[in-house]
Amino acid sequence: MDIQAELISIGNELLSGQTLNTHGRDLGQALSELGLRLSRDTTIPDDIPIIGNAVEDAFNRVDLVFMSGGLGPTTDDITRDALAKLFGQKIVIHQPTVEHLKGWFEQRGRTMTIAATRQAQVLESAAVLFNSVGAAPGQRIETGNGKVLFVLPGPPNEFNAILKEEIMPWLQIRYADIKPQFVRFVQTKGIGESDIVTILENENFQPSEVELGFYPGQGKVKIRLSAQAEHAANVTEAEQTLNKLLAEHLDLFE
């Protein structure tokens, strides 16, 4: 079973190059460990109609959608407003988060302002996901047709904390029957990507049920071989064949 997910990253700062977006890398790695697949990563501006359209488009393709950004206390943090409009829901104050915020500010010798309580706002139907390292919580919003939307803060440490502590355990239960892909790597040095491809084409190297990925960099090429768990033997066989075909160029110290 191929369960795909999409990520929607929100923020003008991402599109202007002011902030490096690492969420796609981190989410893709986490999902692959469960046998799920991140199939698309879209970055959009802080704009209510664009946010709503992006969620609708993603739900037309997949059942799992992740969103990051726009949950802070400032005027450009409009993700909640966009989702409330999209789903026709009210935005409510989550009182346990208010109490958490009070403690969060006190620990830092600060007084919580009224503006700061905006971070405790959630959609009325949302399951609130505790943020152990920051202020605004995440949200899990389930639609009536089996679609699930996860809404997370933008800062990477908060995104990853909620992903690891709240979302991954939930996904492990929901998709308990799915096994992660079987993956192996072969790394070469001193040979270009096009030369490797030529060798493989000359030997008609086309392993069945195995997906190949080529990642060149710093004078090396890493070759990723992956397949569904039931085809693990195909990956092992393909790895052995690659080691023979590229024996003179293997990087054995990586």
**74-102 confidence digits (pLDDT tens):** 988 999 999 999 999 999 999 999 998 98
The yes-or-no verdict on residue 1 having pLDDT over 80 is no
By DSSP bridging, strand 127-129 and strand 211-217 are unpaired
- CATH number (3.30.1330.60, 3.30.70.2860, 3.40.50.720, 2.40.110.10) of 182-249 reads 3.30.70.2860
pLDDT in tens, 140-196: 999 988 999 999 999 999 999 999 999 999 999 999 999 888 999 999 999 999 999
Q: Tens digit of pLDDT for each residue in 51-81?
A: 999 999 999 999 999 999 999 999 889 999 9
Total residues belonging to the chain: 254
Q: Which CATH number is 4-174 given?
A: 3.40.980.10
Q: Do domains 4-174 and 182-249 have the same CATH topology?
A: no
Residue 103 · residue 45 · CB < 8 Å: no
- Could you give the CA distance from residue 15 to residue 25 in angstroms, rounded to a whole number? 17
pLDDT in tens, 108-124: 888 888 888 999 999 99
From the list 184, 183, 182, 185, the residue with the least C-alpha distance to 220 is 185
Smallest CA-to-CA distance from 156 within 69, 41, 55 is with 69
Tell me which amino acid residue 10 is: I
Query: For residue 254, what pLDDT is reported?
Result: 53
Burial class (CB in 10 A: 0-12, 13-18, 19+), 107: exposed
Torsion of CA 203, 206, 207, 208, to 10 degrees: -140
Domain boundaries, the chain: 4-174, 182-249
Q: What is the pTM (predicted TM-score) of this model?
A: 0.85
C-alpha closest to that of 53 among 24, 83, 23: 83
